[in-house]
Amino acid sequence: MDKKNIESYLTFLLKGEMFAVSVNKVLEIIETGEEHTISYLPKAAKSISGVVNFRGNVIPVIDTRIKFDLQSFQEKEKFVVIVLNLLINDREQMVGAMADKVVDVIEIDQAEIKSVPEVGQGYNSEFIHGVVHRNNKFIMLLNLEEAIGTEAITKLRLDKNEDITMTNQTKPSEAINNIELS
């Protein structure tokens, strides 16, 4: 797909797992606090933890842990917000994504990217477009546009015996009712 073979990726941790997103899409990494308080947005989808002031714009912040069906952030847990510029519904939009910790910027050769393993503890290939093996660790390359473009909670990892369903704490109908993407 890309003309250049090597592309830079920003890696971050989410509940112990390493994810990566192309740096071209990253605008800034902000630490919440004084200037960047996340304001709760009523009646929003569960995966939207609120809105934040970014360079004078009000942008939504996605709780990636809820979004990807990992254990959600606790009140006192530390996190950063990666501000991304994504093409959602054919429009460029700024979105904040919560992450436990930003790790590094690495260069990945396109040849290195392996397709999502389908056997065993598989991953939902709709939202992960590849996996890279580095230092005995798997780094998952996220397809955030797809993931954030859909309203519901998305599961990255599929258990063998389970379909792509939601865990019992969030019913899909609830999530969909709460937010309507235009």
27 binds other proteins (CB under 8 A): no
Q: What is the chain's percent helix, strand, coil content, to nearest 5?
A: 15, 45, 45
Counting runs of H as helices and runs of E as strands, what totals does the chain give?
3, 10
> Smallest distance, Å, CB 50 to other proteins?
8
- x-marked contacts with other proteins along 52-91 as a string, rule CB under 8 A: xx--xxxxx---------------------------xx-x
Phi, psi of 162 (to 5 degrees): -120, 145
| Nearer to other proteins among residue 24 and residue 165 (C-beta) | 24
24 binds other proteins (CB under 8 A): no
Q: Which residues pair with 130 in a beta bridge?
A: 141
Piece of 11-19, 28-36, 74-82, 99-107 that binds other proteins (CB under 8 A): 28-36
Distance CA 28, CA 7 (A): 18
Which residues 128-147 are close enough to bind other proteins by CB under 8 A? Answer: none
Which residues 33-52 are close enough to bind other proteins by CB under 8 A? Answer: 34-37, 39-44, 48, 50-52
By CB under 8 A, name the one of 27, 29, 94, 102 that touches other proteins: 94
Indicate the SS3 state at residue 20.
strand
The burial class, CB within 10 Å (0-12 / 13-18 / 19+), for 124 is middle
Site of interaction with other proteins (CB under 8 A): 34-37, 39-44, 48, 50-53, 56-60, 88-89, 91, 93-95, 148, 178-182
